Copies of this chain bind each other. A is one copy, B any other.
Amino acid sequence: MEKNGALKDIVILDLTRVLAGPYCTMLLADMGANVIKIEIPGRGDDTRSYAPFQNGESMYFANFNRDKKGITLNLKDPKGKEIFLELAKKADVVVENYRTGVMDRLGLGYEILREVNPKLIYAAVSGFGSYGPYSDRPGYDIISQAMGGLMSITGQPGDPPTRAGNAMGDVLGGLNLTIGILAALHARGLTGKGQRVDISLVDSVVSSLEAAPQRYFQSGNVPQRIGNRYAPVAPYDAYEAKDGYFVIGCGNQKLYELLCNKILERPELITDERFTTLPLRVKNNAALKEIIEKWSANYTIDEAVEKILAVGVPAAQIFDIQRITEDPHIVDVREMFVPLKHPVIGDMRVSGCPIKLMDTKICIDTPAPTLGQDNEEIFGDVLGIPAEKLQELKTQGII
């Protein structure tokens, strides 16, 4: 496979497992980077045992590891370490999401790697980052959603704290890791030197809270779970139609006035003293919601959304997972589900790349590697290890 994307000159040694790290290297690979995923011989990434399975193969693993090459290497073995250092000499980036300290204990920490390759970027993502009092704690997505404050503000009023229904901490961490790697590559162009990038899932979740901390700082009131509302803006919520819920988002005065004039056909609501400013509309949201739902009760979801969109006010259906996989905009035009043929799974569709580079196009064309699939190419062709030696390394469990 000849890569031709934005990052086609970049070689990435990918030690990551599960989700945050692999999500990052997936994006890098989609953008053309040469990602070499390194797994534990005979076992591989934990997510090779994550459901769903097809023909005994994990579709979870297959989704996030497309477009990567796959090799196996035992980093606990002295010969394995030696081979890893040879690879590090030829790489631009090493990415890992082990618990903090694991790479140092293996004798493969940044201080060692920079000696063999001063231009190397060493990027790590972990639950709490590589420094600070919690840095040696284990972290998974749910830990970061809990300690990063997200669960405390997600959910209907009266509900227990609620996790975003996806592994959002891992996704945010993976995105920040990608940004850190690309920024460090840019800085390397200025300084000639690599550096360490350190991402924490908890930091990533805290940053995603956007203005919630400001609301606390200003008022001293701790933000609570407020369902589908957004604290600084109204009307901006889920509303009930004949057959279920839909959403409206009026982010400024003009949109609110359009809603009053063209949809509710009640222009007096614009000058109603309960609703004249954003903060007043937020304060009197319940009354405003009642007015809107009195209108929407007459229509189906699709009718209400169509009418509101027709006058230029933001509104939407609430799509379920089936519907997003069938929607013509999302699937056919934005290519957010891409067909691939996997050697074991067979025909499958993987999630597309959300980063649309209009000239150096995203390319998703290679299924995730089976365990050790590219050992010969990487160890043989790239490092020049002869075939009989490779067989020996395999027998010894080193690759």
Contacts and interface: CB of A to CB of B under 8 A. Distances in A.
Given A160-B245, A246-B146, A351-B213, A198 B318 contact: no
A121 to B, nearest CB: 10
Contacts of A359: 187, 191, 193, 195-196
A287 interface: no
A276 to B, nearest CB: 12
Contact of A351 (B129, B165, B209): B209
Interface stretch (A151-159, A261-269, A370-378): A151-159
A138 interface: yes
A168 B208 contact: yes
B209 A321 contact: yes
B179 A178 contact: yes
A10 B5 CA distance: 22
Contacts of A209: 166, 321, 324, 351
A137 interface: yes
A6 B171 contact: no
A179 B180 contact: no
B357 A183 contact: yes
A140 B187 contact: no
Given A6-B184, A197-B357, A356-B198, A351 B206 contact: yes
Given A164-B164, A195-B360, A213-B351, 13 more contacts: A6-B184, A46-B251, A52-B211, A52-B218, A54-B218, A60-B211, A64-B211, A132-B329, A149-B323, A161-B238, A180-B357, A207-B352, A222-B321
Contact of A228 (B162, B211, B353): B162
A75 interface: no
A27 to B, nearest CB: 7
Interface residues of A, number: 162
Contacts of A353: 207
Interface stretch (A83-91, A332-340, A385-393): A332-340
A23 interface: yes
Interface in A41-73: 46-47, 49-54, 59-60, 62-64
B236 A142 contact: yes
Most buried by B among A172, A207, A337: A207
Nearest to A283: B51
B333 A132 contact: yes
A90 to B, nearest CB: 19
A126 to B, nearest CB: 11
A176 interface: yes
